[in-house]
A = this chain, B = another copy of it.
């Protein structure tokens, strides 16, 4: 898909996406496209050649983030301990959200009219696997379903943006959620 681009075009596309990620992480999705262009050291027209609309840019940035997360989930699926991989992944996503505002904003629908539907679905599959494994390992109740896990993930991800968020608070918050997922009581 991006393989047909000329070398410099692909390079610019990458620069723009990286810049977008940084800018949106810092100032949220309402940051200006112009700032993204500046950070990428590219003219404004170049941004619009690659992403005809600000929404397209946001969408691509989100897709990139989710792809990265999905990959991490897949790795955990393959190599991690089934009993804890779901929790590990959950914690990882929350951790990243604390660092990058966009993750949280977009996981939660973001106010912006990004059709998150599609990209978010990328996360569902690996997450479903992790959930099933955890249930088979007996660390998560049988009746827990994928959608509430995603809802809790989206929610905690937002919480991670709160002003008082610290590693300690994070641990205590996650503990409640993880405990709530465990069987027996």
Residue ranges of A at the interface with B (Cβ–Cβ < 8 Å): 28-30, 105, 108-109, 111, 116-117, 143-145, 147-148, 150-152, 154-159, 161-165, 169, 172-173, 175-182, 184-185
- The contact of A158 among B29, B116, B158, B175, by CB within 8 Å, is B158
Tell which of B29, B111, B179 touches A180, judged by Cβ atoms closer than 8 Å. B179
Which of A155, A159, A176, A182 has most B Cβ within 10 Å?
A155
Copies of this protein, total: 4
* Contact of A169 with B144 in the complex, beta carbons under 8 Å: no
Inter-chain contact A172/B144, CB cutoff 8 Å: yes
Q: What's the nearest-Cβ distance from chain B to residue A34, in Å?
A: 12
The 8 Å CB contact of A152, one of B108, B151, B164, B176, is B176
Contact, CB under 8 Å: A145 / B172: yes
Cα–Cα, bound, A156→B159 (Å): 9
